[in-house]
Structure 1
Amino acid sequence: MSDTFRALQVSKTDDGLKAEIKDLGMGDLMEGDVTVEVAASTVNYKDGLAITGASPIIRKFPLIPGIDFSGTVTASDNASFKAGDKVVLNGWGVGEGHHGGYAGMARVKGDWLVKLPDTISLERAMAIGTAGYTAMLCVLGLEKQGVKPGDGDVLVTGAAGGVGSVAIALLSKLGYRVIASTGRASEEAYLKDLGAAEIIDRKELSEAGRPLGKERWAGAVDPVGSHTLVNVLAQTQYGGTVTACGLAQGPDLPATVLPFILRGVKLVGIDSVMAPKAIREEAWARLGKDLDLKKLDAMTTKAGLGDVPQLAQDILAGKVRGRVVVDVNA
């Protein structure tokens, strides 16, 4: 193992943020009780916001972004981990205020790490990434509110994105009939291959609508927010549940209370960043069991560290389909 490693570092300049590949040393890493040789990272919507500066995600500069990574422990002062352990990290402010996954090495708190199930490789762990882990949290949220396959359809918005793609694959394998909402009509075959039974145009949900609409689904996974989430709630069946995990359309919620007080609809917030370790371990264990890895591979493309700045722009523009694995050593 070399004393130096490649990293994508973001600096703040008078003209905005600047992302560039640099050679760094172990002394450049931040504090932590576990050191990891990083194998892969990925590109999430939040990474796009961070690298482009579209939202003030990064809180200190210069910083290595990347809210995810998978790798192998090389040194540990944490009793829960030893050299050779295969681990994954999602969230915890990594890539925001602490150096993240776009680097050959990372040093973090062991409490932020989860040991990977034996069924998931380091590369596939980043094909899953925060987006897929969040999708699993959404599915768990639906299950814990009692939404069963026999109760009716489950809607997935932002269906061709990372959260949506994994959510469709998970839900269909678990026996749910999935409706996929997308603005990309060209992705119909892709979404049906993942397990979607029906495709609807996102325009049906993205504009201001009625406080209550026809009851169409027993549950929903929504990474979009804003008017889309409002319309999803308005068309959820009596007693149904919507899990909200994103804000691709916006953080606003211009809604009424009618779905809640007339139909008993439940809105469940899904937080992936600070979720307790027990919930993370449950989610990754379920991913190891319930995610069809062939479908995961089919939704995954590969990239190198130098591709990340462009991918950051592309994901904000809705041009990234499924999941991207970033080989930090390529």
Structure 2
Amino acid sequence: MTQFKALLVSENEGAFSAQVTERDTADLPVGDVLIRVQYSSLNYKDALSASGNRGVTRSYPHTPGIDAAGVVAESRVPEFAVGDEVIVTGYDLGMNTAGGFGQYIRVPAAWVIKRPAGLSLREAMLLGTAGLTAALCVDKLEQAGLTPEAGPVLVTGATGGVGSVAVALLARLGYSVAAATGKVEQGEFLRQLGAQQIVPRSELQEGIDKPMLKERWAGAVDTVGGDILFNVVKSLRYGASVACCGLTAGVGFKANVMPFILRGANLLGVDSVELPLVVKASMWDKLSVQWKLGNLEALAREVGLQALPQEIEQILAGKQVGRVLVNLG
């Protein structure tokens, strides 16, 4: 048994609070691989878990953190040896299984991949689930026929975790990127990531009651959902696609069939949680070589466990910019 530090979210008469506390590896669930976590990252789902969202986490006390990168401390399976550097993202990690906001996790081997040679553990968590999701969106758009020559590609929620990586990745691949945000004061940040155009969020909220809008985008990555998502659908060029992966603006929208049957628009759903491990591993390999970003540090701020409660408040208030890297020391 080993003691370690973890952010523990507790419930008291319906109120939720988070504090860093000492835990023991004996408290962790049964699993194949015990991992000493070196880095994690803060995602919107982590903030929902930390604030008592039962759709994410059913019971408390609980340690959130859907991302973890670290070193194998114990292994019951031949696929992993003590000392292996590994990555875990998604599945039930940080939802109902103690997550990456603790210095140790114990998980099934089926959730674990070995760190790609082209990425350090730190770089892997600078990307995290947000980076993986952004890459999956871009990959799905390209599978649907998107090319850099097709025209401008829109990214909504561009200052957030997924959005900021999507902007950087699309720019890295030669696309002309339009970054949509409610934080227009962050325009310089987005331009440094490669955005060529800044679109105020209010512009994407116009024309919600119209069945169609002017053709603008050769493709789009939508991280917010809601009526903004369907306004993007209505603004796609003929045959274009939007990859949808977020819901911060809502889970529903006013829809009609006209963009689909008159312009051949495509709405592509993207999930990074229950994706087969082999697909995740393939995408991590891509992010470590062909799609490796040279400006990862520009995307993120680094914090420790003690700073997480404040950072969680920031992301719930819609104030997070870029990525938040969690150093577990």
The two structures have a TM-score, normalised by structure 2, of: 0.96
Equivalents in 2 of 1:94, 1:60: separation in Å? 14
Post-superposition Cα deviations, 1:298-322, rounded to whole Å, max 9, x if no partner, equal 1110101011111111012121110
8 Å contact 2:164–2:322 — kept in the other structure?
A: yes
**Number of residue pairs the alignment of both structures matches:** 328
Q: Deviations over 1:270-315 (max 9, x none)?
A: 0111011121012111111244544211111010101111111101
How far apart, CA to CA, are the structure 2 residues paired with 1:194 and 1:290?
18
* Residues 225, 247 of structure 1: 8 Å contact kept: yes
CA distance in 1, matches of 2:286, 2:191: 23
2:289 aligns to what SS in structure 1?
helix
Q: Secondary structure at the match of 1:192?
A: helix
- Stretches of 4+ aligned residues off by more than 6 angstroms: none
Q: Any idea what the Cα deviations from partners look like across 1:64-94, whole Å, max 9, x if unmatched?
A: 1111111011111223222121111111021
Q: What is the letter of the counterpart of residue 296 of structure 1?
A: L
Q: Secondary structure at the match of 1:30?
A: coil
1:180-207 CA deviation, whole Å, 9 max, x = no partner?
1011111111111111111110111135
Matching residue of 2:143: 144
Task: Find the residue that maps to 1:318 and give its secondary structure.
Answer: coil
Equivalent position of 2:212 in the other structure = 212
8 Å Cα contact 1:7-1:104 kept in structure 2 = yes
Match of 1:311 in 2: 311
In structure 2, distance between residues paired with 1:143 and 1:210? 29
Q: Is the 8 A contact 1:170 1:290 kept in 2?
A: no
Residue 244 of structure 1 is matched in structure 2 by: 244
The answer to whether structure 1 residue 189 and structure 2 residue 198 are counterparts is no
- Counterparts of residues 119-268 of structure 1 (less than 5 Å): 119-207=118-206, 208-268=208-268
- Kindly report which structure 2 residues correspond to 1:56-67, keeping only aligned pairs within 5 A, or say none: 56-67=55-66
Q: Given residue 61 of structure 2, which amino acid in structure 1 is its aligned partner? A: P
Distance (Å, rounded) in 1 between the aligned partners of 2:21 and 2:81:
29
Paired residues of 1:52 and 1:313 also in contact (CA < 8 A): no
Whether the 8 Å contact between 1:174 and 1:290 is mirrored in structure 2 is no
SS of 2:117's partner is coil
- The answer as to 2:269 corresponding to 1:269 is yes
Q: Distance in 1 between matches of 2:290 and 2:171?
A: 10
CA distance in 2, matches of 1:229, 1:55: 25
**1:53 Cα offset (Å):** 2.5
Q: Which residue of 2 aligns with 1:97?
A: 96
Give the drift of 1:54.
Answer: 5.1
Residue 33 of structure 1 corresponds to 32
Match of 1:282 in 2: 282
Tell me the TM-score normalised to structure 1 length. 0.96
Cα distance, 1:55 vs. partner? 5.9
Structure 2 unmatched ranges of 5 or more: none
Q: Secondary structure at the match of 2:272?
A: coil
Question: Partners of 1:119 and 1:212 in 2: how far apart?
Answer: 44
C-alpha contact (below 8 Å) 1:177/1:197 kept by paired residues? yes
Q: Secondary structure at the match of 1:196?
A: coil
RMSD of aligned Cα (Å): 1.4
* 8 A Cα contact 1:181 1:202, kept in partner: yes
Aligned equivalents of 1:190, 1:174: Cα separation in 2 = 19
Does the 8 Å CA contact 1:8/1:22 hold for their aligned counterparts? yes
* Structure 2 residue identity aligned to 1:226: G
Q: Is the 8 A contact 1:173 1:290 kept in 2?
A: no
Question: Structure 1 vs Structure 2: percent identity of aligned residues?
Answer: 44
Alignment of 1:96-115 (within 5 A): 96-115=95-114
Tell me, yes or no, if the aligned pair for 2:172 and 2:293 is still in contact at 8 Å. Answer: no
2:243 is matched by which residue type in structure 1?
A: T
Residues 164 and 190, structure 2, Cα contact 8 Å, conserved in 1: yes
